[in-house]
Amino acid sequence: MRTTGWLGHPPATDDEARARILEATHRCVERRGARTTISDVASSLGLSRATVYRYYEGTATLLQAAAVEGTREFLDQLGDHLRSFDDLAEAAVEGVTFIITQVPSQPYLQLMFEESTHTLLRTVTSETTRAIARALLVERTSVDWTRTTIDSSTLDELVEWIQRIVQSFLSDQTESPTRTPEQLREYLHRWLGPSIRTWATVADNAPSRSAPETAPATTP
């Protein structure tokens, strides 16, 4: 490991080096957003680009690693926001609304649709993100899964559909009609809500069911 650079305080381990590079990346993203490059991060730490490349193979890889950390707090906020919803359609609509309307204040959500290669945007529909979205619906909402007729495979399809809706909104910010949060919520209630209720009706005489299981997931 190099002993120069690092603003005069070289890391003791490779793990510490990666952590400090990610910290510097967060600061750069806050200032430069999607224009952040490995050169920016290297300069902020007094390093050569070659040193950063030892730990991250390119700008996209570095930004993706930073996004993993940068979105954790946001996902916790989303889970807290959904906690009071006991209707699956309401929870789905509110989740999409919350994500889309928070883009301007969330650097890594903003980065997803500004980054030119769209590498980060494609993570929205990744298997890891799908597992996280499923866990949010099952574990962080107040939906009584023992009273719903939805099965596990249908829930997986719903999660995939929600992901694709979010990805579409994030990738089409300039072309989509401008809506206030309430207008977006009404739009989703009109078109997304009814389709969910078709497959996730709560039946008074439905047999008792177990809540859908969720696999352990990490932030995308």
- Output the CA angle 59-60-62, nearest 5 degrees: 65
| Top-confidence range, 39-43, 115-119, 133-137 | 39-43
- Output the CA angle 54-124-178, nearest 5 degrees: 125
State the pLDDT confidence band at 116, using cuts at 50, 70 and 90. Answer: low
d(CA 151, CA 210): 10
- Give the model confidence (pLDDT) of 186-217 as tens digits: 999 999 999 898 887 654 344 555 567 665 55
State the pLDDT confidence band at 125, using cuts at 50, 70 and 90. Answer: low
DSSP annotation of 85? -
> How far from each other are the two terminal CA atoms of the chain, in whole angstroms?
29
pLDDT higher than threshold 90 for residue 39: yes
pLDDT higher than threshold 60 for residue 171: yes
d(CA 159, CA 165): 10
What is each CA distance from 155 to 99, 131, 160, in whole angstroms? 20, 11, 9
pLDDT higher than threshold 60 for residue 81: yes
d(CA 131, CA 123): 12
State the pLDDT confidence band at 176, using cuts at 50, 70 and 90. Answer: low
Average pLDDT over the chain reads 84
pLDDT higher than threshold 90 for residue 140: yes
- Output the CA angle 14-132-144, nearest 5 degrees: 150
- Do 67 and 123 touch, CB atoms closer than 8 A? yes
CA 191 centroid distance within chain: 23
Mean pLDDT computed over 102-122? 75
H or E stretch including 80? Answer: helix 72-82
